[in-house]
């Protein structure tokens, strides 16, 4: 059993078109914790990630925060707000150092037509839809411990074995309480699948995360984030 890793927007458009898009944008460096896109702001530009990773966060009307995804180099961010001419529905926050190219909305829409990017955007959206389907299946079909393990497997497949996410981030991604996530991480550490560092999780045995079972541990919690 393996994590299916999608190639991102860059893979769909190809190297020549990707380079053309970058040449039309403005490079900007970002650092851990930088807010690259903010929920509620107007879609004035898109971002093309060339280095580093970001977490996509959404705040619900109730005030509850959700971690929707982690995006890495080769991805596009903010395209829906530009195309729909509506406010952004989520924020993008850096989880390590990296670089992105900002492409203003008028240039992006012009290049959409010139380079015929509609199919690539559609395929990329389908990839994200399939990714979300698998995430929802994990929530429905697995217990708390396995949900933590499978979430880490999917996120580390995107950003690498060093996952710069906190217990709180994982709680928001798995709809579990922080204490339940901590119990799951402890069990995974005990079984030698990962190690925790300051503000980070290091995956040691990625191939075992999806098949791991928490039968030898007692994970409490009602399955909901506190």
225 inside domain: no
Domain identity same for 15 and 120: yes
Same domain, 146 and 119: no
- The CATH number of the domain holding residue 182 is 1.10.10.10
Judge whether 137 lies within some domain.
no
Task: Identify the segments of the chain with pLDDT beneath 50.
Answer: 1-3, 216-218, 220-223, 225-226
152 shares its domain with 123: no
| pLDDT (0 to 100) of residue 141 | 87
Residue 185 lies in a domain: yes
* Strand ranges of the sheet holding 200-203, from the earlier edge strand across to the other edge: 162-163, 200-203, 194-197
pTM: predicted TM-score of the whole model, two decimal places = 0.84
220 domain-assigned: no
Contact present, 54 and 94 (Cβ < 8 Å): yes
| Same domain membership, residue 86 and residue 191 | no
Indicate the number of domains in the chain.
2
**Do residues 117 and 183 both lie within one domain?**
no
Nearest to 149 by CA among 81, 221, 212: 212
At 214 the pLDDT is: 76
Strand partners, 87: 42
Are 197 and 110 found together in one domain? Answer: no
pLDDT at 215: 60
Q: Are residues 154 and 124 in the same domain?
A: no
Last residue of a domain, one of 106, 128, 150: 128
DSSP-based three-state secondary structure for 116? coil
What is the Cα 21 distance to its own chain's centre?
22
Average pLDDT, the chain: 89
The last residue of a domain, from among 81, 96, 128: 128
Answer whether residue 101 is part of any domain: yes
In terms of domains, do 45 and 109 share one?
yes
Tokens of 5: 């890793």
Same domain, yes or no, for 99 and 185? no
Do both 111 and 147 map to the same domain?
no
Q: How do residues 48-67 score in pLDDT, each as one tens digit? A: 999 999 999 999 999 989 99
Is there a domain that residue 197 lies in? yes
Q: Is residue 42 situated within a structural domain?
A: yes
Output the domain CATH number for residue 64: 2.60.120.10
For residues 180 and 123, state if they share a domain: no
Which pLDDT score is estimated for 6?
61
Range of the domain at 109: 8-128
The verdict on 161 and 68 lying in the same domain is no
Alpha-carbon span 191 to 145, nearest angstrom: 12
């Amino acid at each position: 059993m393996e994590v299916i890793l999608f190639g991102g927007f860059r893979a769909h458009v190809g190297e020549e078109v990707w380079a053309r898009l970058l040449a039309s944008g403005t490079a900007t460096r970002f650092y851990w914790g930088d807010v690259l896109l903010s929920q509620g702001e107007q879609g004035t530009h898109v971002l093309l990630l060339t280095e580093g990773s970001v977490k996509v966060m959404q705040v619900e009307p109730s005030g509850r925060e959700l971690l929707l995804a982690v995006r890495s180099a080769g991805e596009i961010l903010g395209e829906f707000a530009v195309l729909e001419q509506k406010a952004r529905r989520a924020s993008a926050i850096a989880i390590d150092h990296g670089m992105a190219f900002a492409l203003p909305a008028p240039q992006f829409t012009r290049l959409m037509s010139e380079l015929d990017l509609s199919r690539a955007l559609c395929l990329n959206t389908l990839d994200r839809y399939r990714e979300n389907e698998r995430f929802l299946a994990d929530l429905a079909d697995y217990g708390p411990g396995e949900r933590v393990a499978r979430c880490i497997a999917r996120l580390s497949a995107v950003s690498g074995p060093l996952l710069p996410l906190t217990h709180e981030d994982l709680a928001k991604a798995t709809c579990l309480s922080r204490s339940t996530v901590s119990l799951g991480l402890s069990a995974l550490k005990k079984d030698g699948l990962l190690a925790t560092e300051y503000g980070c999780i290091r995956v040691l045995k990625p191939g075992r995360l999806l098949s791991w079972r928490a039968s030898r541990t007692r994970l409490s919690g009602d399955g909901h984030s506190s």
